[in-house]
A and B are shown apart, each in its own frame.
Chain A
Amino acid sequence: MTMQAEAPSARFQATPRAVPTEAEIEAKARARLKARRALVITLRIAILVGVLGIWELGAQTGFIDPFFFASPSGIAEQIWVWMTEGTSQGSLWVQILVTLEETVLGFFIGAAGGIVCGIVLGRNKLLADVFSIYIKVANSIPRVVLGSIFIIALGLGMASKVALAVVMVFFVVFANAFQGVREADRAMIANAQILGASPFQITTSVIIPSAMSWILASLHVSFGFALVGAVVGEFLGAKQGVGLLIATAQGAFNANGVFAAMIILAVLALAMEFLITLVENRLVKWRPVPYSEQN
């Protein structure tokens, strides 16, 4: 501690006259930033290696029972087997494709419905007052339970999973779109009105852009929800999909299989999150860049 505190003053005493130039200061600041970034990445990798290492070591020595809690090497092997030899339900890629299709379909239908309903209700006070109570009720129901209804009504195919994903996504997006419309700046709306905008023009050129940040924030969360909807739907009854892989692995006491499917789902979610961020950056490029990102 004392060493660190003394070091800079000692250096200044050694070169009392040398005033650093602008370029030197900048180079030094850049070097410091780079060193910090390297440190963060190193620590992240260290944590990953540490956790996996302890897990693996525990499994090897018998401290953790790999039969119940799996092991990193077992999970890796399981993923490898699925990739090269296929799963008990056929090719792994087909399973991923099925789940992804259900998720994306549900996500888009739910998000579109949520955005439209949110804007319509946000713009109409009477509709908002009438429906708000029902939306609150619908929102407090644990919606995953609806999966059973959908499977009874729509069968084991894709439709029931898409329906569950839609229901999961709709309310999140709806609530945010509604709030976003309500938060639209009064002065800005009045300004557009006086400049000559019709009610429809106000909706398209003021209300929707100002609700966009709220809507995009909800899309980040709701893709995860869509995935949950699809996987839980497959869990409850399906012929294909990653959710069914998990259910099958569970039935066979294959802990490695459950974890392997989980990792596959996480990779899917991260990839989609990345895509959504790309779209978001395109849509809201007018927003000021936070200082931390400018560096």
Chain B
Amino acid sequence: MSLQSIAAARPPLMPAAALAPAIELDNVTRRFLTPDGKSMTALRDFTMTVDRGEFACVVGPTGCGKSTTLNLVTGLARPSAGEVRVMGEPVSGIHKDVGFVFQADALFPWRSVLDNVAAGPLYRGLSKAAAYGKARDWIARVGLSRFEKHYPHQLSGGMRKRVALAQTFINEPKILLMDEPFSALDVQTRTNMQDELLDLWSGSGASVVFVTHDLEEAVALADKVYVLTAGPATVKSVYHIDLPRPRVMAEIRYDTAFVEKCRTIWDDLREEVQIGQQRTLDTGH
């Protein structure tokens, strides 16, 4: 509590903030207390920097703590040690420039597509007319204009993801966090959604952190891929992906440079996946 008020009282350093990267995780450690009182470390000495407008992907073995990195950036979780900075300022509470696309369906099932997309602007105090105007605009951009009055349960999985993207992008986030957003979709729909995402992102100038366990997805989308170790997660290595943009998902997977990148990173990741699996088998949870 006192730390927070000191941070708030400090005058904002505008010039430094303007130059600072969009997201910085500086030697962050995050521990959880399990219900039976044991401490579990999800992240250890984790350092990551995402520049403005950069697309970063985080890959790692299942259950290693990938999602925890995102929760730290939103402010929904606090670091046990180290510091998380967004736009050069330490995170305290939910930042208004942050958008989040969830793995699970997080749409409001009792609201129509239009009401779902308009939720963000309405929460933020925009007038009804302005919010719905903006929502119609974004629904059109994801190609769902004819489904404005539908409820989520009446849409396919891919369409629901489009609604989720529109719902997030309508707030014009400068930082976009995505937690395995397409993992529940079939392969064809997923390819379409990846193109859709790159398309929306290229016009927004947002910085993205995209968590996935699908290495090819990471390499295809990202400027930078972070490979994490088996839990407690820390950064094992960082790869810069310099494949030219705009990228087309259906074609990039046959690109030799792409295949080569995937192979290199997979050699690195495989070891961690094996450690993670072995540990699960040994400990039984």
The answer to whether B100 and A190 have CB atoms under 8 Å apart is yes
A132 within 8 Å of B (CB atoms): no
How many B residues touch A, CB cutoff 8 Å?
Answer: 28
* A197 lies within 8 A of B110 (CB): no
Q: Taking CB as reference atom, which chain B residue is nearest A283?
A: B110
- The reply on B99 being an interface residue by CB < 8 A is yes
The answer to whether A191 and B123 have CB atoms under 8 Å apart is no
Contact with A along B130-168 (1 / 0, CB 8 A): 000000000000000000000101100000000000011
Chain B interface residues toward A at CB < 8 A: 74, 76, 94, 96, 98-100, 102-112, 119-120, 123-124, 151, 153-154, 167-168, 171
8 Å CB contact of A286 from B98, B123, B151: B151
Q: In the complex, are the beta carbons of A286 and B171 less than 8 A apart?
A: no
Instruction: Say yes or no: A196-B123 contact (C-beta < 8 A), given A190-B100, A190-B102, A288-B153.
Output: yes
A197 and B123 within 8 A (CB): yes
Tell me the A residues contacting B by CB distance below 8 Å.
185, 187-188, 190-198, 201, 205-206, 209-210, 212, 284, 286-288
| Interface secondary structure of B, over-half rule | loop
B110 touches A284 (CB 8 A): yes
Chain A residues near B105: list those with CB within 8 A: 187
Chain B residue at smallest Cβ distance from A288: B153
Partner of B119, one of A192, A198, A286: A192
The residue in chain A whose Cβ has the minimal distance to the Cβ of B105 is: A187
Q: Please report the C-alpha to C-alpha distance between residue A201 and residue B121 in the assembled complex, in whole angstroms.
A: 13
Known: A206-B108, A286-B109, A286-B110. Is A192-B151 also a contact (CB below 8 A)?
no
Q: Assess the B102–A191 pair: CB atoms within 8 A.
A: yes
B residues within 8 A CB of A192? 108, 119, 123
User: Are A187 and B104 in contact (CB-based, < 8 A)?
Assistant: yes
Most chain-B CB neighbours within 10 Å: which of A187, A193, A195, A206? Answer: A195
Q: Nearest B residue to A197 by beta-carbon distance?
A: B123
Please give, as numbers and ranges, the residues of chain B lying within 8 Å of A193 by CB-CB distance.
76, 94
